[in-house]
Chains A and B, each alone.
Chain A
Amino acid sequence: MASGRPLLIPSPKTPTSPEPPPPPLPRIPSKSQNTSISKHSSSSSSHHPPPPPRFPSRRSDSITTSQRDIPDSEARFVYINDPTRSNSPTRLPTNSISTTKYSLLTFLPRNLFEQFHRLAYIYFLVLAAMNQVPQLGVFGRETSILPLAFVLSVTAIKDAYEDFRRHRSDKFENHRTCSVLSSDSQFLPTRWKDIRVGQLIKLHSNDAIPCDMLLLSTSDPTGVAYIQTVNLDGESNLKTRYAKQETLKTHSSSSSSTTAFPTSGLVRCEKPNRNIYGFHANMDIDGKRVSLGPSNIVLRGCELKNTSWAIGVAIYTGRETKVMLNSSGAPSKRSRLEAHMNRETILLAVLLFLVCSIVTILAGVWLHVHRAELDYMPFYRKRDYSGKEVGKYNYYGIGWEVVFTFLKSVILFQVMIPIALYVSMELVRLGQAFFMIQDDSMRHEKKRFQCRALNINEDLGMIKYVFSDKTGTLTENKMEFRCASVLGTDYSNTLTTQEEDDDDDDDEENNNAYTLTEDGQILKPRMRVKIDEELVQLLRSGNKSEKKKRACDFVLGLAACNTIVPLVVETEDPRVKLIDYQGESPDEQALAYAAAAYGFVLVERTSGHIVIDVLGQRQRFDVLGLHEFDSDRKRMSVIIGCPDKTVKLFVKGADSSMFGVIDKSRNMDVVRATESHLHSYSSIGLRTLVVGMRELNSSEFEEWQSAYEKASTALFGRASLLRTVAANIETNLQLLGASGIEDKLQDGVPEAIESLRQAGIKVWVLTGDKQETAISIGYSCKLLTSGMTQIIINSHSKESCRKSLLDAFTMSTKLSAMASNAQNSVGDAGSNKVPLALIIDGTSLVYILETELEEELFKVATVCDVVLCCRVAPLQKAGIVALIKNRTDDMTLAIGDGANDVSMIQMADVGIGISGQEGRQAVMASDFAMGQFRFLVPLLLVHGHWNYQRMAYMILYNFYRNAVFVFTLFWYVLYTAFSLTTAVTEWSSVLYSVIYTALPTIIIGILDKDLSRKTLMKYPQLYGAGQREERYNLLMFIFTMLDTIWQSAAIFFIPLLAYRHSTVDISGIGDLWTLAVVILVNLHLGMDVFRWNWLTHVSIWGCIVATAICVIIIDCIPILSGYWAIFEMMKQGLFWFCLLGIIIAALMPRFVIKAFMEYFKPSDIQVAREMEKYGSLNEAAANTAREIPMTSFANANQRIP
């Protein structure tokens, strides 16, 4: 309950609902009803666990909204059991779903439409279209469309396949059957897709729910149904839904059959919307108007559990169901690299424009100079003398010719902007995702890494800020009861006693506490809890001391004061059954298990009572009232009627709220002792709860009862009324004790944080926990160290916030100044800076975020090494991420597991969901999902680094590859009177980026590794390459382009000069250029490959061979003008010498610079590569070379075994 997590966006599970919901059916349990229920439940309990009590749903809407009338225009009218009327005048969709994007008919237009959202494709389409104009035709008509068609069809095939898979699963869903009431009042199996709004549907236990239904009647006389929403929000615990009393009444009055239900009535509900947790409607039934809320509907995607049947009316079907309305994919983000790439694409476009302009101007000059000669020039012939009248042949005046030349040159040089890059990038990311998913070091208990977003893989290599949730992310969110303080005595001696008796059950005494027998069957709580012997002794001792009594009350309070539902689970051993405590808060579960371990086993819970096995003796407690947890009170309470006829109020809650309502006068010592215990618990990172109780005398009880009844039947302001009732009764409590629950750290979290820190990543923790807990967890996961100076900001007004921020800033500057002074004087490089930690709470953030103080916070936060935000609300989490994201170019990553992290996950550049205990909402919103926090290290340091490196290289290489080709064409144009002839056959120019050079870059983009996993993990500092954007930046782009110009010149001019005085024809020299450029770019790639595995070999050499084969095939077609040219060329030695010369000369500058750079100005990567290669030799040397102070690096080295 008191998990202390902040409230958030609608989530069913967060205990701190802003609107403490009213019970839809306020009902004071009466004795008679209770017995009837218990009978019913015991009869069914042979098969089902006893149904939990009918507690109000936490999500039901407030009175005000549910009472609000829905205007007719905005309402949907559903006539119960009258689908015909429900579907008129407008026909509502049937229940068949279609998640497919396309149908056979619409596939082509829609898919193309979607694909053409990419601007580059439109560019290529326009060029292909222009090429169809006769005056502009540079390529053949078919060949010009081919590259675009190829790219489009690859994507289309991928899309079609995905869509087909969706279609298959849709079909499966649509053909499932369920029972629907037919016209002759019989439930007949019907296909899901045929269900219509207004039809009555009967569900049985474990049935999947076919559409959104309003519950009318269930097997439970009180109208309760349990559903599992694991497919909807990932929460595996059962949730309760209710049929309205009014519809149940119909049941008892209208018919005598066992499964009766209303067969008429009108439901006015809101139009379909995507809010899973909201619903309002009202129903006219039997002349009465009943309001309905979200607790009355069951949604498609859920399953009925523990309820033998339920009947409901379909209200939203098919695509209007809430789950379908919510099934949008992950938000699409664009990677940083791609954004940079677009910048360079624009540069390339400028370059393209320049090249085309040069050609155009020269062509214009040439035409102008030769304008008198054009008529008769055999190779121009602007006049056509063949007809009777001398006409102009294909000549439109110099002005138009210039325009045409420009357009033609754009068409010819279009590949300057690499079209294949887009497809290659998609394929490469797919491959990278495959490897990330397959990686065993990121697999947790069969749960593999998930890539939900495919287009930001490379961003993982450039992260500078990690924003992490705490609960469930750093910690396991598996609560474990650790300590208890009862009446001022600390029983925390649980750590030592448990280690031995884990393996076998020889410890009889302990086992007694754990198990109990019933009808020869052994019942065991599912989880074992470490217990304190002393407390056990005290509880079991025969004495009747006050202390023992209070201790019993304390444990009873733990067992009773919750909303846990015990479920009995069969085990392999037929004699043994396990009790599984289902509950919405892991803290409560831990407390219930702890109580069970101390001998107070909660066995059964029904609407009106609970059964607790008290030290082997079953006792029944009537639950007379329950006040839910809410974030204002920060406590919850139950009122139970004990077997000894006393009425007790048990309250548990956060210490801050509990000490306000405890009667301190009674036992000051106990209060003081408990306070100090609480302090020590929270300082070792435990979550604390305080338990108090009060015995109610009959007058108090009656007063409360009437107030409670009044409040819960109130039509308006029910929630606040109930809160007042709770506050009135929760006073003058007797302090029983406190509990400490350990929120266990996940495996490897401290190590992971240390690695991330070494990698230059700043880790910020944003938690909803209280400050002490947050700080203690900070220490235990090594986020905070004792050497750090902590700046704590807890302010309650804007002014004090401003002041503390300014103070913090001056302090930080002072400290860094001191540090640099110290360094200057002492010259000690080791202690470079006093590390700072900023700890700030949610209240202060309220005054800071979205005001001008943000800037101050930013300044302070960025100089701090660690930032810890506690008590933050979900939107504040997003606000903090935005604080960094909007002010810097640094990449941010948010990681979290709960629904409260969704906003931050979506805000950050990279969002990672932990698929943990808290449902799947974070995962659904994330870009990547994984099982454990520690996987962040291999994900960022290894995969992120690789992905970044690969993608950066691939983009540059693709630019280079196409530019080399374009420049080669360009040089030739200068020798053809600027008439845009290509020596390279048009087929080769089309196949160039598709077949000749595409595969190696994809293979290398997927497979190449600059450094091994081991090295990257050992030296997290290597991650800096991505953060500094070392592998892809403007400078590298410019150098690549310069290299491109040199290489294309080598390709072009060597054959030109070598064949200067020969009979060489266009096709022959064109083939030489084709082969040269393909071999060159492939070898260029090969030169930069870090690891040659067999796939690399196959792709690079294979592509060269494939090119040769293609060129030969093209030259074997007699009707092409280049027939047999390649063979004539290959006959001459000159050809081979040219080829060799081109390749060596073209690659030389790059090779020389590479060799010099790697040797004399090595990058970190280069050094690490060498270490990898000669590591064994130099390790000893590195250890001896102590003259140079090696800070973190030396530490890293020492860890090497």
Chain B
Amino acid sequence: MEMEPASSSGSSGGSQPHSMPSRRSRAFYRFTQQNLPACKPALTPGLVIITFLLLGIIFVPVGLVCLHASRSVVEIVDRYDIECIPEQYQSNKMSYIKDSTISKDCKRDLKVQSHMKAPIYIYYELENYYQNHRRYVKSRSDKQLLHGLKHRDTSLCKPQEMSNGLSIVPCGLIAWSLFNDTYSFVRGTTAMNISRKNIAWKSDQDHKYGKHVYPFNFQNGSLIGGGKLDPNTPLSDQEDLIVWMRTAALPKFRKLYGRIEEDLNAGEVITVHLVNNYNTYSFGGKKKLVLTTSSWLGGKNDFLGLAYAATGFSFILVAILFALIHVKNPRPQGDATFSSWNRKTSAR
């Protein structure tokens, strides 16, 4: 890098005004003559090699650190949507899930592979569930969530908009399809304490969901899509709803259910009592329960670490390649013999 001398285009001179009254007008003159001081970065071989090397040297360790962080996360994933259906309903899952008379209780044993440090996050994971489907995403009324019935225009909420002439609070497909499986955990013989508070974003609770909006007519329709809400709790305290309403970005997603505030030891088996209410069978969705610790980087995901390491490694390779070619076949910088008009004549 080097600063271009401001007077570089001396050839433009000749008619340069003689009197330059102030610095400002001189700066403006320089501007009009397109002669502003500027930095001209150039890719010299040295710079290129050093850049690549440097990037490589930074990226490989960063990748390894990320990988380490990801590896330190302990995760238990249990898919239960199939297993939780009794034998006789395996071939006809729909009739099972639709029949409210059948008990949906289900018991799952989870084995802890290695020590898990509190807090342990409980997620439910849905797959093949397009929470990001256009029809679904749009089917909500954020104004109604905040203002309740005071906000009347809920046309976006169709087909879950009105019930008996009043708009459903909260309206829309998203709220209607609220996830309603429940989990309780038993460690040995004692029920575990699960924290179900503070699972939603504080900002949502404070500003996005009304403190005086009550779901008084929720899930009253002929078709029940999912969970019910306590009509006496304002929306701002319905954390499950708030979590659910943050529509997931991808068709396979996790949502926070609660936290276990105690460590789990390796080899331990904990029993999950779950109520398998939520119907994903109609469209082949999968349901999983996830218990995981977290690291500074988030959950378990090797991708970023691997990607960084691989990129860093390839940078080093490129640097070596470039250096090799450079040594074998150097080209002096700024040598006019490499310009096309000289090459043409010398080629003859």
Q: Which residues of A contact B (CB under 8 A)?
A: 370, 373, 376-381, 383-386, 393-394, 434-435, 438-441, 443, 823, 827, 829-830, 832, 938, 946, 975-977, 979-981, 983, 1007, 1009, 1012-1014, 1017-1019, 1021, 1024, 1054, 1056-1066, 1068-1070, 1090-1096, 1118-1121, 1123-1124, 1127-1128, 1132-1134, 1137-1138, 1141, 1144-1145, 1148, 1152, 1154-1156, 1158-1160, 1162-1164, 1167-1175, 1177-1178, 1181-1182, 1185, 1188-1193, 1197
A-B contact pairs, 30 of them (CB 8 A): A373-B283, A377-B283, A379-B130, A385-B222, A393-B159, A394-B158, A434-B32, A439-B32, A823-B348, A976-B251, A979-B133, A1012-B4, A1057-B301, A1063-B255, A1064-B253, A1065-B249, A1092-B41, A1094-B36, A1123-B207, A1133-B298, A1144-B311, A1154-B43, A1155-B43, A1167-B335, A1167-B338, A1169-B40, A1175-B334, A1177-B334, A1188-B345, A1193-B342
With A381-B135, A1065-B246 as given contacts, are A832 and B252 in contact (CB-CB < 8 Å)?
A: no
Residues of A within 8 A of B136 (CB): 378-380
Total interface residues on B, CB under 8 Å, equals 113
Looking at the assembled complex, report how far the CB atom of B16 sits from the nearest CB atom of chain A, in whole angstroms: 7
B158 and A1173 form a contact (CB under 8 A)? no
Residues of A within 8 A of B249 (CB): 983, 1059, 1064-1066, 1068-1070
Q: B336 — nearest CB in chain A belongs to which residue? A: A1182
A1164 and B341 form a contact (CB under 8 A)? yes
Stretch of B190-198, B265-273, B321-329 contacting A (4+ beta carbons < 8 Å): B321-329
A1173 and B335 form a contact (CB under 8 A)? no
Residues of A within 8 A of B9 (CB): 1012-1014
Q: B226 — nearest CB in chain A belongs to which residue? A: A378
- Cβ of B163 < 8 Å from any Cβ of A? yes
A1188 and B346 form a contact (CB under 8 A)? yes
Report Cα–Cα, A604/B85, bound state, in Å.
Answer: 122
Report Cα–Cα, A1096/B4, bound state, in Å.
Answer: 15
Q: A1030 — nearest CB in chain B belongs to which residue? A: B340
Looking at the assembled complex, report how far the CB atom of B329 sits from the nearest CB atom of chain A, in whole angstroms: 7
Report Cα–Cα, A1193/B336, bound state, in Å.
Answer: 9
Q: Which one, B40, B159, B283, contacts A384 given CB within 8 A?
A: B159
A1066 and B298 form a contact (CB under 8 A)? no
How many inter-chain contacts with C-beta < 8 Å in the A-B complex?
A: 322
Looking at the assembled complex, report how far the CB atom of B221 sits from the nearest CB atom of chain A, in whole angstroms: 6
Q: A938 — nearest CB in chain B belongs to which residue? A: B12
With A379-B136, A1188-B346 as given contacts, are A1066 and B336 in contact (CB-CB < 8 Å)?
A: no
- Cβ of B308 < 8 Å from any Cβ of A? yes
A379 and B135 form a contact (CB under 8 A)? yes
With A1017-B11, A1175-B334 as given contacts, are A1170 and B42 in contact (CB-CB < 8 Å)?
A: yes
A1121 and B247 form a contact (CB under 8 A)? yes
B158 and A384 form a contact (CB under 8 A)? yes
Q: Which one, B134, B163, B226, contacts A976 given CB within 8 A?
A: B134
Q: Which one, B146, B222, B333, contacts A1174 given CB within 8 A?
A: B333
Which residues of B300-348 are within 8 A (CB) of A? 300-301, 303-304, 307-308, 311, 314-315, 318, 322, 325-326, 329, 331-342, 345-346, 348
A1093 and B334 form a contact (CB under 8 A)? no
A1012 and B8 form a contact (CB under 8 A)? yes
Report Cα–Cα, A829/B347, bound state, in Å.
Answer: 9
Q: Which of A938, A1069, A1127, A1170 has the most CB of B within 10 A?
A: A1170
Q: Which one, A377, A1063, A1175, contacts B253 given CB within 8 A?
A: A1063
A1144 and B159 form a contact (CB under 8 A)? no
13 extra A-B contacts, CB within 8 A, seeds A979-B135, A1172-B334: A383-B159, A385-B222, A439-B33, A440-B14, A1024-B340, A1057-B304, A1066-B137, A1066-B247, A1123-B208, A1134-B297, A1137-B66, A1174-B334, A1182-B336
- Cβ of B173 < 8 Å from any Cβ of A? yes
Q: Which one, B45, B132, B163, contacts A981 given CB within 8 A?
A: B132
A1164 and B346 form a contact (CB under 8 A)? no
A386 and B325 form a contact (CB under 8 A)? no
B221 and A1137 form a contact (CB under 8 A)? no
Looking at the assembled complex, report how far the CB atom of A1061 sits from the nearest CB atom of chain B, in whole angstroms: 6
Report Cα–Cα, A1066/B137, bound state, in Å.
Answer: 9
- Cβ of B102 < 8 Å from any Cβ of A? no
Which residues of B175-200 are within 8 A (CB) of A? 176-177
Looking at the assembled complex, report how far the CB atom of B258 sits from the nearest CB atom of chain A, in whole angstroms: 13
Give the 9 A-B CB pairs with smallest separation, nearest first: A1170-B334, A378-B177, A384-B159, A1124-B203, A1091-B38, A979-B134, A379-B136, A438-B32, A1013-B9
Residues of A within 8 A of B45 (CB): 1159
Report Cα–Cα, A1173/B332, bound state, in Å.
Answer: 13
Report Cα–Cα, A385/B208, bound state, in Å.
Answer: 28
Report Cα–Cα, A438/B163, bound state, in Å.
Answer: 71
Q: A432 — nearest CB in chain B belongs to which residue? A: B34
B12 and A441 form a contact (CB under 8 A)? yes
Q: B160 — nearest CB in chain A belongs to which residue? A: A386
- Cβ of B142 < 8 Å from any Cβ of A? yes
A1145 and B246 form a contact (CB under 8 A)? no
B301 and A1060 form a contact (CB under 8 A)? yes
Residues of B within 8 A of A1124 (CB): 201, 203-204, 207
Q: B135 — nearest CB in chain A belongs to which residue? A: A380
Which residues of B10-62 are within 8 A (CB) of A? 10-17, 32-43, 45, 48, 55, 59, 62
With A379-B129, A393-B159, A1164-B340 as given contacts, are A1064 and B39 in contact (CB-CB < 8 Å)?
A: no
Looking at the assembled complex, report how far the CB atom of A1166 sits from the nearest CB atom of chain B, in whole angstroms: 9
Q: Which of B247, B326, B337 has the most CB of A within 10 A?
A: B337
Which residues of B138-153 are within 8 A (CB) of A? 140, 142-143, 146
B207 and A1118 form a contact (CB under 8 A)? yes
Report Cα–Cα, A1025/B338, bound state, in Å.
Answer: 15
A1133 and B300 form a contact (CB under 8 A)? no
Residues of B within 8 A of A1170 (CB): 42, 333-335
B176 and A378 form a contact (CB under 8 A)? yes
Q: A383 — nearest CB in chain B belongs to which residue? A: B159
With A1017-B11, A1065-B249 as given contacts, are A1090 and B59 in contact (CB-CB < 8 Å)?
A: no
Residues of B within 8 A of A1148 (CB): 311, 314-315
A443 and B15 form a contact (CB under 8 A)? yes
- Cβ of B299 < 8 Å from any Cβ of A? yes
B133 and A1192 form a contact (CB under 8 A)? no
- Cβ of B225 < 8 Å from any Cβ of A? yes
A1178 and B301 form a contact (CB under 8 A)? no
A1188 and B342 form a contact (CB under 8 A)? yes
Residues of A within 8 A of B146 (CB): 1118-1119
Report Cα–Cα, A1175/B335, bound state, in Å.
Answer: 9
Q: Which one, B208, B250, B283, B304, contacts A1141 given CB within 8 A?
A: B304
Chain B 220-257 per-residue mask, 1 if CB under 8 angstroms from chain A, else 0: 01110110000000000000000000111111111110
Looking at the assembled complex, report how far the CB atom of B49 sits from the nearest CB atom of chain A, in whole angstroms: 9
A1065 and B247 form a contact (CB under 8 A)? yes
Residues of B within 8 A of A1120 (CB): 142
With A832-B348, A979-B130, A1124-B204 as given contacts, are A1158 and B43 in contact (CB-CB < 8 Å)?
A: yes
Q: Which of B15, B38, B255, B346 has the most CB of A within 10 A?
A: B38
- Cβ of B161 < 8 Å from any Cβ of A? yes
A1197 and B336 form a contact (CB under 8 A)? yes
Report Cα–Cα, A394/B329, bound state, in Å.
Answer: 66
Residues of A within 8 A of B283 (CB): 370, 373, 376-377
A1013 and B11 form a contact (CB under 8 A)? yes
Looking at the assembled complex, report how far the CB atom of B66 sits from the nearest CB atom of chain A, in whole angstroms: 7
Residues of A within 8 A of B123 (CB): 1063
Looking at the assembled complex, report how far the CB atom of A985 sits from the nearest CB atom of chain B, in whole angstroms: 12
Q: Which of A1118, A1148, A1197 has the most CB of B within 10 A?
A: A1118
Report Cα–Cα, A850/B275, bound state, in Å.
Answer: 92
B161 and A386 form a contact (CB under 8 A)? yes
Report Cα–Cα, A1121/B36, bound state, in Å.
Answer: 46
With A386-B221, A1118-B146, A1145-B307 as given contacts, are A1056 and B250 in contact (CB-CB < 8 Å)?
A: yes
Residues of B within 8 A of A1018 (CB): 11
Looking at the assembled complex, report how far the CB atom of A968 sits from the nearest CB atom of chain B, in whole angstroms: 13
Residues of B within 8 A of A1167 (CB): 334-336, 338-339
